[in-house]
């Protein structure tokens, strides 16, 4: 569970069905088998990941595909990841890095 990687890549560029979304997250972030495949479980597993002493670098590829096929999903995921960065009075602000690749544009969550 939570095998450390220098960068975790969530690649949604080839996603076609909603039932692929959480399995991509589970596999790439090395979430446990009991991951509930919902936003609450996503938050719970992320907060477990930041309780270790290693930086958390997440790159989201294919954000435009995700947004086109499942409107609002990207926004919800970004909202949760922003919350994680600023959790516990910004304790993880410099520890958690999230980059979003949206077409040819690159963004970093602040």
Spans of all domains in the chain: 8-108
Q: Which fold has domain 8-108?
A: Barnase; Chain D (3.30.370)
In the prediction, which pLDDT does 92 show? 85
Q: Are 22 and 35 in contact (CB under 8 A)?
A: yes
Nearest 10 degrees: Cα torsion 99, 26, 85, 50:
-120
In the prediction, which pLDDT does 20 show? 97
First to last CA, the chain: 27
What's the rounded Cα separation, in Å, for the pair 89 and 99? 21
Residue-wise pLDDT for 23-37, tens only, equals: 999 999 999 999 999
Question: Per-residue pLDDT averaged across 48-75, rounded?
Answer: 91
Q: Look over the chain and give the mean of its residue pLDDT values, rounded to a whole number.
A: 92
In the prediction, which pLDDT does 101 show? 96
In the prediction, which pLDDT does 102 show? 93
Task: Reply yes or no on whether the pLDDT at 91 is more than 90.
Answer: no
Contacts of 47 (CB under 8 A, 6+ apart): 84, 87
């Amino acid at each position: 569970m939570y095998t450390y990687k220098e960068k975790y890549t969530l690649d949604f560029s080839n996603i076609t069905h909603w039932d692929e979304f959480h399995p991509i997250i589970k596999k790439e972030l090395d979430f446990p088998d009991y991951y509930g495949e919902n936003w609450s479980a996503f938050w719970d597993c992320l907060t477990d990941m930041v309780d270790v002493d290693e930086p958390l670098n997440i790159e989201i590829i294919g954000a435009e595909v995700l947004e086109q096929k499942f409107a609002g999903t990207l926004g919800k995921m970004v909202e949760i990841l922003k919350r994680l960065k600023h959790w516990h009075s910004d304790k993880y602000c410099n520890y958690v890095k999230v980059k979003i690749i949206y077409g040819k544009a690159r963004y970093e969550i602040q």
